[in-house]
Chain A
């Protein structure tokens, strides 16, 4: 709040009200519903619901299917985060280094940010198409029959490729802007002290980039958990049962296709706790980041 603030009593209320009403109706109400209905079991024919305590949660904890999906989600998240961050770091370091064409490279490496995940998934479906896809043809050339949507591992592979491709630009933008904010004086001092580019990178650049990288780590985990929904939904081709899916996708299929409202809500709550933990971590780091700069 500013010291020289206005003191009209009604105006700020009127200004805040629309935002608060929308948040109350479309955020707090559904969030409460999710927590509430996670303790109930719905009748599949729509005749009310029974209180079952923590039953929906124990059902999750003992479900081998849920464990499998959780396992894939962890694997998928780690792979997508590592590959997209690593590739983007390499590209950002090079784009920061070159003199000629720096702007053109920036444009060419970031525009994919604007493509929606399901459209990216559709592009993947084209490249990995069973009959006409060039990547499928390439694998066939080496004697492997790639079957997206039919073979669990093949679909997982294609999903990872598409999700990484879609995520490189965001990481690239942040890492490049992080690199460019390193003061010239620091760079020059490092240049005088150390001739080896690799040593310079690991001793000076990388530590200075660490706060950005950590922030991106959280962004990437969130992306892999939630935003890849569109990629997955397109790439499983209407057959999620025999294909790899993530936890968020399971919330959706159980809730809307299986009409297991209680089970789906319990899964939502589990994810809420996960996001909460991630956000707390992010803010802890944010506090430390202030010390850096």
Chain B
């Protein structure tokens, strides 16, 4: 009987090698973050005396508590909780702003008889040619000139000047069957009603996907917040990394590794969790939006 049972395939060498490669890849990805996590669980003197540790100590609670609730240390006026709130404001504000602006613009371009639709599309389209990094200095001067330095608006709105979301929704709207809008018009629905009752419900998955991508993008912004927020009460976690690095590597006292890494862990946690838990939406949004 054993002859016919093919259920148990012999373990082939190539399969073992495949798994070995994948496991090594996964470990390389995990290793730095794992070390950062163990670093948050030791006190600073132990770390500077004995080097990084691969096991966990018992200082994790203390380090996270200090990082999140005590002002001072890395910055003078702000604790980790306030930075977390600022990061959330930037991430969520950017994502919502992006979705609202780009859905509206894409709706106008796709669903209306508009003489300058193509022109408007090209005006928006051109923005993908120049990332913020290459026009950073003049952008800074313009925003400062408008009195928007050290405000949430100055932090978020200039980042919205790009085409990515608009393309994404334009592409999606074009794929929605034409019969739907015809039927809606025959039933007497105006553009507002069609948008809210038909198009938005249809776009739900797309909106979720783009929200995740944009949230991660906004949360992870570094250069722009570094320039435009000099007031510490507006620092985001990622912006704060610079201050933290300076105090760890350019100070003269014993570096506060534990607290520094506690903040860095908090800075990576929300986007990482979102990407892991909403993986299928995230991958869909990423692959679709780059097309």
Interfacial residues, chain A to chain B (CB-CB below 8 A): 1-8, 11-13, 15-16, 18-20, 22-23, 25-27, 29-31, 33-34, 37, 87, 90-91, 94-95, 97-98, 100-101, 105-119, 121-127, 129, 131-134, 137, 149, 165, 168-170, 173-174, 177, 197, 215, 219, 222, 226, 229-230, 233-234, 237-238, 248, 251-252, 255-256, 261, 264-265, 268, 271-272, 275-276, 279
Q: Check B139 against A30 for contact (C-beta < 8 Å).
A: yes
Per DSSP, chain A at the interface is helix
**B114 contacts which chain A residues (CB < 8 A)?**
1, 12-13
Q: Check A116 against B220 for contact (C-beta < 8 Å).
A: yes
Contact with A along B102-126 (1 / 0, CB 8 A): 1011011111111001001001101
Q: Check B264 against A114 for contact (C-beta < 8 Å).
A: no
**Given A16-B104, A226-B131, A127 and B32 touching (CB < 8 A)?**
yes
* Interchain residue pairs with CB less than 8 A apart (26): A1-B117, A16-B108, A22-B161, A25-B142, A25-B146, A31-B130, A34-B137, A37-B138, A91-B25, A98-B22, A108-B29, A113-B275, A114-B216, A122-B264, A123-B264, A131-B48, A132-B51, A173-B287, A174-B286, A215-B290, A233-B223, A237-B245, A238-B250, A251-B133, A268-B138, A279-B128
How close is A93's CB to chain B, nearest CB, in angstroms? 9
Among B133, B162, B287, chain A packs the most CB atoms within 10 A around the CB of B133
**A13 contacts which chain B residues (CB < 8 A)?**
108, 114
**Given A6-B112, A16-B104, 9 other A-B residues pairs in contact with their CB atoms under 8 A:** A16-B105, A27-B127, A30-B141, A33-B141, A105-B26, A119-B220, A129-B52, A215-B290, A222-B131
Q: Check B22 against A23 for contact (C-beta < 8 Å).
A: no
Q: Check B287 against A174 for contact (C-beta < 8 Å).
A: yes
Among B30, B221, B274, B287, chain A packs the most CB atoms within 10 A around the CB of B287
Across the interface, B22 reaches (CB within 8 A) one of A91, A112, A177, A261, namely: A91
Across the interface, A116 reaches (CB within 8 A) one of B160, B222, B279, B283, namely: B222
Across the interface, A132 reaches (CB within 8 A) one of B32, B48, B194, namely: B48
Q: Check A4 against B135 for contact (C-beta < 8 Å).
A: no
How close is B282's CB to chain A, nearest CB, in angstroms? 8
Give A174 to B291 CA distance when docked, in angstroms. 11
How close is A51's CB to chain B, nearest CB, in angstroms? 17
Q: Check A115 against B120 for contact (C-beta < 8 Å).
A: no
- A216, closest chain B residue (CB): B290
How close is A124's CB to chain B, nearest CB, in angstroms? 8
Of the listed stretches B55-63, B72-80, B177-185, chain A binds B177-185
**A229 contacts which chain B residues (CB < 8 A)?**
133, 222-223
Q: Check A116 against B21 for contact (C-beta < 8 Å).
A: no
Give A230 to B227 CA distance when docked, in angstroms. 13
Asked if B209 is at the interface of the complex by the 8 Å CB criterion, the answer is no
- A6, closest chain B residue (CB): B191
How close is A53's CB to chain B, nearest CB, in angstroms? 19
Asked if B36 is at the interface of the complex by the 8 Å CB criterion, the answer is yes
Asked if B68 is at the interface of the complex by the 8 Å CB criterion, the answer is no
How close is B92's CB to chain A, nearest CB, in angstroms? 15
Number of A-B contacts (CB under 8 A): 296
Asked if B157 is at the interface of the complex by the 8 Å CB criterion, the answer is yes
Across the interface, A248 reaches (CB within 8 A) one of B134, B143, B158, B274, namely: B134
- B221, closest chain A residue (CB): A116
Asked if B13 is at the interface of the complex by the 8 Å CB criterion, the answer is no
Give A131 to B131 CA distance when docked, in angstroms. 37
Q: Check A1 against B137 for contact (C-beta < 8 Å).
A: no
- B32, closest chain A residue (CB): A123
How close is A20's CB to chain B, nearest CB, in angstroms? 6
How close is A32's CB to chain B, nearest CB, in angstroms? 8
Across the interface, A122 reaches (CB within 8 A) one of B109, B241, B272, namely: B241
**B286 contacts which chain A residues (CB < 8 A)?**
170, 173-174
Q: Check A20 against B26 for contact (C-beta < 8 Å).
A: no
Give A25 to B138 CA distance when docked, in angstroms. 11
Give A149 to B160 CA distance when docked, in angstroms. 34
The 7 closest A-B pairs by CB, nearest first: A116-B220, A33-B138, A114-B271, A12-B108, A30-B138, A108-B26, A12-B112
Q: Check B216 against A90 for contact (C-beta < 8 Å).
A: no
**B65 contacts which chain A residues (CB < 8 A)?**
none
**Given A2-B181, A173-B287, A248-B134, A132 and B47 touching (CB < 8 A)?**
yes
Asked if B211 is at the interface of the complex by the 8 Å CB criterion, the answer is no
Give A113 to B283 CA distance when docked, in angstroms. 11
Among A3, A7, A19, chain B packs the most CB atoms within 10 A around the CB of A19
Q: Check A115 against B268 for contact (C-beta < 8 Å).
A: yes
- A16, closest chain B residue (CB): B108
How close is A255's CB to chain B, nearest CB, in angstroms? 4
Across the interface, A252 reaches (CB within 8 A) one of B136, B268, B272, B276, namely: B136
- B54, closest chain A residue (CB): A134
**Given A22-B160, A98-B19, A114-B274, A15 and B133 touching (CB < 8 A)?**
no
Q: Check A126 against B129 for contact (C-beta < 8 Å).
A: no
Give A253 to B237 CA distance when docked, in angstroms. 23
**B48 contacts which chain A residues (CB < 8 A)?**
131-132
- A178, closest chain B residue (CB): B287
Q: Check A114 against B272 for contact (C-beta < 8 Å).
A: yes
Q: Check B21 against A91 for contact (C-beta < 8 Å).
A: yes
**Given A119-B268, A248-B134, A98 and B124 touching (CB < 8 A)?**
no
